Amino acid sequence: MKGKIGAFIAVLVLAVATANPGYAQDAEHGKTIFKACAACHATDHANRVGPGLEGIVGRKAGTVPGFRYSDAMKKFGIIWDVKILDAYLESPQKVVPGNRMPYAGLNDPTDRTDLVTYLATLK
């Protein structure tokens, strides 16, 4: 019985998730959240305080030419995807300990999803 209720709730959650207003709108919201990142990050390949974020989804961590990454970021060695970006933006120091990005993290999961959706449009 308990299992059935669990399955029902899972279906319900899925239904709510797919009823989401849609990609364009999320990215639009993500763009407004990105203002907090824009102080340090350009949306092209230009390096500022932080590396340019063009093509970040699908790019290897720590590889923008000419940017002086921390050893932690250079050694991280992962290909940024939506999932790992979400985790990194929630808690940069937890995911890449010792990295030099002065950002505490974004708590709201919806804001993070929208932000990462926006980041995926930077190509």
50 binds ligand HEC (CB under 6 A): yes
Whose CA is closest to 43, among 56, 30, 32, 52?
A: 52
Decide whether 14 or 36 has the Cβ nearer to ligand HEC.
Answer: 36
Q: How far is the CB of 78 from ligand HEC (least distance, A)?
A: 9
- Residue 99 contacts ligand HEC per CB under 6 A: yes
Selected from 3, 22, 65, 102, the binder of ligand HEC by CB under 6 A is 102
- Pick the closest to residue 61 from 94, 30, 36, 88 (CA basis): 88
Of 8 and 75, CB closest to ligand HEC: 75
Neighbours of 115 (CB within 10 A): 25
89 binds ligand HEC (CB under 6 A): yes
The CA distance from 102 to 123, in Å, is 24
